[in-house]
Amino acid sequence: MNVVSIVVLLSLAGLETQPQPAAPVPAAPEISEPRDWSKPPPGTLEDQALWNALYEAQNASVMHMGRVVQAAYRLRYGRYYESLDEKAKSGTAGEAEGARRARAKIETAARQADAAIPKQGLRVRVCKYTLLHFDQRMSFPDDPTFAAELSKYRAEARGCADELAPFAKKLAPIADAFEASLADADVFLKRAAPAVPPAPDQDGGAASGVR
């Protein structure tokens, strides 16, 4: 029985299902002091809160999509289905039943992970650049061009945060379940987790099929 394919494309920002063009980042005025890029630049409390919300949502989306992709690679290269099918054929009646349950659990988790990733595309990479644009406009309020564009990028940042935050929250337990189903199968098969190649991380991405 084939499992629905999990197709995730990777970008410089992390993972997304379809690459989308990002606006070029304009040259910013020189920064005179070192910057902690995990914290928002000076600005209103509302803008700083929005910066934090988008920063956290974008990072969480990338992390949990990466977990799903790595679980898909682990499933493929670890030959979980083949190992469980063999145990179902050659093991005792109890082992055969356990193998079928473990396989069904993995299949369910893989399908749920595939269904959770929007096939029309998720703006992970685009939203990374939105955060950068927003950051620059906050950082240089005295620059006339940046000041005039702040409201535009504020609205875009809010849209990205509203899209990515619920996605990341939904995907986290799904990634947990996918990883747990593989870990449980390893325990059942009495083996260590197999070593697998890392998921591709080059710009432009690569597709991974799960069978």
pLDDT in tens, 75-119: 999 999 999 999 999 999 999 999 999 999 999 999 999 999 887
Is residue 52 included in any domain, yes or no? yes
pLDDT at 24: 55
pLDDT tens track for 169-190: 999 999 999 999 999 999 999 9
Position 131 pLDDT exceeds 90: yes
Is residue 204 included in any domain, yes or no? no
pLDDT at 119: 77
Is residue 4 included in any domain, yes or no? no
Q: Dihedral (C-alpha) 73, 124, 10, 27: value to the nearest 10 degrees? A: -150
Angle between helices 93-116 and 80-90 (to 10 degrees): 160
Please state whether the predicted TM-score (pTM) of the whole model is above 0.85: no
pLDDT at 92: 94
Is residue 28 included in any domain, yes or no? no
pLDDT tens track for 52-70: 999 999 999 999 999 999 9
For the chain, the domain total comes to: 1
Is residue 205 included in any domain, yes or no? no
Position 31 pLDDT exceeds 70: no
The answer for 130, left when phi > 0, alpha when psi is -120 to 50, beta otherwise, is: alpha
Domain carrying residue 66: 9-19+47-189
CB 35 within 8 A of CB 28: no
pLDDT at 165: 97
Is residue 41 included in any domain, yes or no? no
pLDDT at 141: 86
Is residue 84 included in any domain, yes or no? yes
> Residue 8 — pLDDT band, cuts 50, 70, 90?
very low
pLDDT at 79: 95
**Mean pLDDT rounded to a whole number for the chain:** 83
pLDDT at 30: 53
3-state secondary structure labels for all residues of 71-127: HHHHHHHCCHHHHHHHHHHHCCHHHHHHHHHHHHHHHHHHHHHHHHCCCCCCCHHHH
> Residue 205 — pLDDT band, cuts 50, 70, 90?
very low
Per-residue CA distances from 177 to 64, 68, 202 (Å)? 12, 10, 27
Is residue 157 included in any domain, yes or no? yes
